[in-house]
Amino acid sequence: MFRKPKHKKARLFLQKRFARWRVSLPERSRLSLAGLKVLVVGIYLADRENHVHHLVARFGESPRLQVTQRWAALCGRSSDDAVSAVTKIASEQLIPKFKLLNQLLVQEELANYDFIVFADDDVVVPQGFLEFYLDAQRRYDFALAQPARAWHSFYDHKMVVRKPWLKARETRFVEIGPIFSLDARAARVILPFDELSPMGYGFDFCWPVQMAKAGLKMGIIDAVSVDHSFRPQGVSYSAAQNNAVMDRYLLEREHLTQDDAMQTLRQHFF
């Protein structure tokens, strides 16, 4: 619904409403987040419309979390002062997503962070998102997590669409975008990203194997969703070419099939 070109006006209307949505935690939960160190790592396409200014503002709004943001710009650089201040790499050429994320990560001492959040530039999040989301990730002990997508979002896998009757789901699948996060335990297992699949295709079928071997849980947070209706997936790169890379990548690595990955192990109801 609302994913065809003719629905653009409806999507813009919903995006504006979504940006005004506010989520908040009880005072006790907010206080428990104080001092947590969070690294936000993202990429934006400077030569086209994006939501990076919105995201930089939202990720930086918490007075309790200690948030460091590191963004990479492709095909130019933002003229916005706040975005420019956190843009650490600028390239005129398109660089594969996970290769570029590794370049940002190598500039940081990752052991200093409690959580690492990865973000694309085409998503809208509600006010209070980061505190609410990380509190949920910590409460359900998900070492690897993603927020669910709002019902009007673009998606490849229906599993990631929000289930409004659930707070969260322990799953065998967390997608490679548009937002996902690792705690310190998962960071030690997953990072650095394997550049033999530089766009990340296939990671989300290998991650559940890696996480299970490490005795770690992963899941989707439904209590807070993100709006991914701004830009259809795959418009900036060749999906067919990357699917071929994924097929070769998975041949040499232990992984789950798509059917095995699309499983919910436990549900947390409201």
pLDDT for 41: 98
Q: Which fold has domain 5-269?
A: Spore Coat Polysaccharide Biosynthesis Protein SpsA; Chain A (3.90.550)
Integer Cα distance of 74 and 80 in angstroms: 15
Predicted confidence at residue 237, as pLDDT, reads 57
Q: How far apart are CA 15 and CA 31, in angstroms?
A: 30
For residue 247, what are the contacts with CB-CB under 8 A and spacing of at least 6? none
Structural domain spans, the chain: 5-269
What stretches in the chain show pLDDT beneath 70?
Answer: 1-6, 233-238
- Look at residues 235, 221, 131, 129 and name the one whose alpha carbon lies nearest to residue 175: 221
Residue 72's DSSP bridge partners are 43, 89
Give 120's Cβ-side CA count (13 Å radius).
25
- Helix H or strand E segment including 29: helix 27-32
Which pLDDT does position 8 carry in this prediction? 76
- Is the model's pTM score more than 0.85? yes
CA pair distance 208, 171, nearest whole angstrom:
9
Cβ atoms of 120 and 177 closer than 8 Å? yes
Q: Which pLDDT score is estimated for 4?
A: 66
The predicted pLDDT at position 214 comes to 98
Question: In this predicted structure, what is the pLDDT of residue 236?
Answer: 56
- pLDDT of 197-238, one tens digit each? 999 999 999 999 999 999 999 999 999 999 998 877 555 556
> So what's the pLDDT on residue 234?
56
pLDDT at 166: 98
User: Parallel, antiparallel, or unpaired: how do β-strands 179-183 and 264-269 relate?
Assistant: unpaired
pLDDT of residue 265: 98
- pLDDT at res. 2: 58
Q: Return the pLDDT at 201.
A: 96
Beta bridge partners of 182: 116, 144
DSSP 192-240: SP-TTSTT-TTHHHHHHHHHHHTT-EEEEEEEEEEB--SS-TTTTS-HH
